[in-house]
Amino acid sequence: MRHVLTLFELSSAEIERIFIVAEDLKTKLQQGVREPILPGRVMALLFEKPSLRTRVSFEACMTHLGGATQFLGAEVGWGKRESIADFAGVLGQYVDVIVCRANQHARVEELARFSGCPVINGLTDLAHPCQALADLFTMREVFGGLAGRTLAYIGDANNVACSLAVACAKLGVRFAIASPRGYQFEEGFLKQLQQDSPKCEVTATTDPAKAVQDADAVYTDVWTSMGQEAEQEERRRAFAAYQVNADLMAQAPRHAIFLHCLPARRGEEVTDAVMDGPQSRVLQQAANRLHAQKGLLAWLLGSQG
Ligand code: CP
Ligand code: NVA
């Protein structure tokens, strides 16, 4: 049994396999075919934080694939009414897979330890693997392949940035990140990345213009993630020079696309002109959450792995 708590747990070949299945299922859906490859399978969606994309795309995935979902919000009392171990041991007997969005990564790890069924991380403070799968799937779709491409990430070295860095390292994509001091990757993470993918090409700078100079994709995320609201003002000041706007996009190659995991705070990390401009692929990227996750589920639960 496999869990997907971070992308460190997947090999490059496994990610490529997920993309091939995702591509096939996306084409079929566009032709009106919803192949029920997971009949009767049940997914629990255990969420401690709000969500549009992750929740609804997983619900739609399971419906398309012939399975069902149950959404469990705060009222289920996870870790409050009973221990996480007891909760996981029970829930894992009712369902085939759990997607969990949690405040602390350690809670998802504990859930996985005791669940007896696969657990997929639907976002924690440390990682957002499903997002990065959809993002790299989008780049692969736009450019017809990934090897030798460069993704530039501007902003906070947060959960999304960490998962993107791992996905890029595994798929031969250069990763250039520009963040202010104090908001950069931790040394421990960079060491783990290097050990996991010795050939990875990661560059870190404080200069956004430098990061985007060879970019095929320019990516940003909110300056203040869920759970960091108390730091909002401080973060607005720290990231003021890190907005992705028309001036910054003009420093990137002309063919570069713009990506954002969404939700966006327009006027902060990105301007309307970039979000709605010709280089933006944010809607295609959001749509691909559905398709990439189908590939992931087929690999994890189906016979297509
Ligand atoms: N990008 C993303 O995970 O969006 P939600 O928070 O709406 O799920
Ligand atoms: N970094 C953001 C991503 C939201 C999808 C957060 O954690 O809130």
295 and 256 inside one domain: no
CA dihedral 137, 138, 140, 142 (to 10 degrees): 160
Q: Which atom of ligand 1 is nearest to the CA of 123?
A: 3
Binding site membership of 190 for ligand 2 (Cβ less than 6 Å): no
* Residue of 254, 183, 241, 179 whose CA lies nearest to 213: 254
Which tens digits make up the pLDDT trace of 194-211? Answer: 999 999 999 999 999 999
Distance between CA atoms of residues 67 and 288, nearest Å: 19
**Average pLDDT score over residue span 274-291:** 98
124 and 82 inside one domain: yes
94 and 176 inside one domain: no
Is pLDDT at 79 greater than 90 in this prediction? no
Is pLDDT at 176 greater than 90 in this prediction? yes
- Classify residue 2: in a domain, yes or no: no
Residue 51 in tokens:
């969500």
206 and 172 inside one domain: yes
Distance between CA atoms of residues 20 and 197, nearest Å: 22
Catalytic residues: 101, 128, 131, 221, 261, 289
Please tell me whether the overall predicted TM-score, pTM, comes out greater than 0.85 for this model.
yes
| Domain extent at residue 154 | 129-285
213 and 273 inside one domain: yes
Q: Report the domain count for the chain.
A: 2
- Residue that is written with structure tokens 């993918």 in the block: 197
- Classify residue 156: in a domain, yes or no: yes
CATH of the domain at 89: 3.40.50.1370
Between strands 202-205 and 174-178, the pairing is parallel
Distance 183 CA to ligand 2 centre (A): 15
- Classify residue 38: in a domain, yes or no: yes
**Residue 114: phi, psi to the nearest 5?**
-110, 0
134 and 267 inside one domain: yes
71 and 168 inside one domain: no
- Classify residue 186: in a domain, yes or no: yes
153 and 105 inside one domain: no
As a whole number of angstroms, the longest Cα–Cα distance in the chain is: 55
Mutate to test the pocket of ligand 2, among 53, 159, 265 (most ligand atoms within 8 A of CB): 159
Least confident of 4-18, 112-126, 142-156, 290-304: 290-304
Is pLDDT at 289 greater than 60 in this prediction? yes
- Residue that is written with structure tokens 């189906």 in the block: 302
Which tens digits make up the pLDDT trace of 216-273? Answer: 999 999 999 999 999 999 999 999 999 999 999 999 999 999 999 999 999 999 999 9
Q: Which atom of ligand 2 is nearest to the CA of 125?
A: 7
Spell out the alpha helix ranges (H) of the chain. 12-30, 53-64, 84-94, 105-115, 129-143, 159-171, 187-196, 208-212, 232-238, 246-249, 272-275, 282-301
111 and 232 inside one domain: no
Binding site membership of 68 for ligand 2 (Cβ less than 6 Å): no
Residue 42 in tokens:
């049940």
**Average pLDDT score over residue span 118-144:** 98
Sign of the alpha-carbon torsion through 247, 248, 251, 252: negative
Binding site membership of 162 for ligand 2 (Cβ less than 6 Å): no
Binned at pLDDT 50, 70 and 90, residue 74 comes out as confident
Q: Which ligand is nearest to the CA of 235?
A: 2
165 and 66 inside one domain: no
279 and 138 inside one domain: yes
Sign of the alpha-carbon torsion through 191, 193, 196, 198: negative
Helix (DSSP H) and strand (DSSP E) numbers for the chain: 12, 9
Binned at pLDDT 50, 70 and 90, residue 187 comes out as very high
Bond prior to 263 in cis (omega within 30° of 0): yes
